[in-house]
A and B are shown apart, each in its own frame.
Chain A
Amino acid sequence: MTATAHKFFSPARIGAIASNTLLELVRLKVFYFLLIFALIMIGSSAFMVRFTFAEQFQVLKDVSLGAMSIFTWLLSVLATAMLLPKDIEDRTLYTILAKPVPRLEYLLGKLIGVLLLLLVSTLVMSAMFAIALYLRQQTVIAETMRTTPPEQVAEAIRNIKASTFTINLVPGVITIYLKAALFASLTLFISTYASSWIFTILISVAVYIIGHLQSTARDYWLASGDAGALTKIFLAIVSLIFPDLQLFNLIDDIVAGNAIAMAMFLKTCGLGVLYACIYLLVAYFVFANKEL
């Protein structure tokens, strides 16, 4: 029997941890969130029949994408907050780390597991959203064909189609995923510090709210000439430490008809990936020296 040399960094080990994490999370029945999402979407479609088609599509898109945003965020925070405490409670963590698995690989594997879960969830929700939108579109088209004079039907259908699916919805959905990925990494970092998962969740929720106000704090900090020293220090800390989550809130304006330039979208994605990497790095920094 030949002994293989131990690799310092092994994608196979990370893959194994990630797939196990995904499996564990699926067994936690977090996918039930998706069912709630489906119900909200179907419910929102049902009470919109009296609206004009533009209003119906508007509300359907807003409610569906808003629900996607809420559930991917909740999923990322809840799933990640429970990873480390659960592994410690089950003693799995000790079994894994007793083997030659670097702590970075362990954290990376865990994070990738959550990101995969988020990816699957986002894809399933997007598919359900597309189906709901398509069904609504077909209903409206059928109604229009019944009630519109023949010479105006073609243009009416063109207008309906233009109001439903636009290519800009894709970057909108991607930013929803990115925001959730950023939060998964951030929650992992917090959980390396925290002693309980409730604390981790509470801090993550607080960061979520502060993160949405970060741009306001930054604007005020950079513009404030007459603010007191304490105020300036406070604003600076908020601006420097917290992520600007408003930058990932593009979907409201995209549904309203705003188009997003590719360069701007890529920069936003780059910022999201950078945040996720930095939070993973500090999580490793804390976890590497943690006494277990």
Chain B
Amino acid sequence: MRTLAVIAILLIFGAAKLRFEQRLTEEHRAAYFHGAKLNLDLRQQVGQLGFIAALSGFRALVADVLWIQAHSAWERTEWGRMALLFNTVTALQPRNVMFWDVAGWHMAWNASVAAREDPKQPREALRIKAQREYFQLGRDFYERGIANNPDKYVLHDRLALLLRDKLDDHCGAAKEYDLAAQFKDAPEYEKRFAAYELSYCEGHERDAYERLLALYKIGEHEWLPTLLKRLDYLQQKLNVPPEQRVYIPPEKSP
């Protein structure tokens, strides 16, 4: 009888708190808490013990252990294993920008160079192919990181850098720098870099020129060598009439 009464009390309390708990969970999720998807794929990657630990509220600890393993894999230059471990770490801690950032960097910068200079692969075409696959892996980490962290600018900046330096996609880089610049805590250079990249983007020269001109007009502290160089280039490319061209001091001219 007493047991039944206790169960009844718990059920009544449970019914009363249910809506509140559900609403609070939704609020937490809206604030990007509890974003990890603990599914069967992850279970296979982290093992049973790791999965139970992750389920029991120790996701961050499991992620850190795997991160240290990835670091060791890096020292042994095991790029494939690193990619697998990074996938697991980022699945466990999708809100940790640092994990996405470093994972993307390792793939696009370190692993790609190692693949390009792989002494075991005599065929250059295959080395280039492997290199491009690592670029794409890096890009994939950044894009998934952005999808999981839409409130942070850092990964837009990193993706822009990858598009600019590795994939030669200046239009894409300009777009990413623009997206980064929209965040309040983003550094000022994001805006400038967006304009620089746009100046390399076919068909967007006019827009780039106007942006660079606007930056130029802010003041002398914005007259950085790259800005002046790109402005000079666009003035010539767009055939800006001489009287409308901005004056670039000879000592500042690149």
- 9-residue interface stretch from B12-20, B135-143, B165-173: B12-20
Q: Check: A123 CB closer than 8 A to any chain B CB.
A: no
- By a beta-carbon cutoff of 8 Å, the part of chain A in contact with chain B is 47, 50-51, 54-55, 58-59, 62-63, 65-66, 69-70, 208-209, 212-213, 215, 218, 222, 239-241, 244-247, 249-253, 255-261, 264, 267-268, 271, 274, 278, 281-282, 285-286, 289
Q: Check: B93 CB closer than 8 A to any chain A CB.
A: yes
- By a beta-carbon cutoff of 8 Å, the part of chain B in contact with chain A is 2, 5-7, 9-11, 13-15, 17-18, 20-22, 24-25, 27-28, 31-35, 52, 55-61, 63-64, 67-68, 71, 93, 95-98, 102, 152
B21 → chain A closest CB, angstroms: 5
The interface residues of chain B lying within 8 Å CB-to-CB of A241 are 7, 10-11, 14
A106 → chain B closest CB, angstroms: 18
The interface residues of chain A lying within 8 Å CB-to-CB of B64 are 58-59, 62-63
The interface residues of chain A lying within 8 Å CB-to-CB of B35 are 253
Whether A212 touches B25, Cβ cut-off 8 Å, given contacts A55-B98, A241-B10, A282-B6, is no
A-B contact pairs, 23 of them (CB 8 A): A58-B64, A63-B64, A208-B56, A209-B52, A218-B18, A239-B14, A241-B7, A241-B10, A244-B21, A246-B25, A247-B21, A250-B28, A250-B33, A252-B93, A253-B95, A256-B96, A258-B32, A264-B28, A267-B20, A271-B21, A274-B17, A281-B9, A282-B10
Judge whether B24 and A247 touch: CB under 8 Å.
yes
CA distance A62 to B99 in the complex (A): 13
Q: Mostly helix, strand, loop or mixed at chain B's interface? A: helix
The interface residues of chain A lying within 8 Å CB-to-CB of B152 are 257
CA distance A131 to B58 in the complex (A): 23
Judge whether A289 and B24 touch: CB under 8 Å.
no
CA distance A244 to B26 in the complex (A): 13
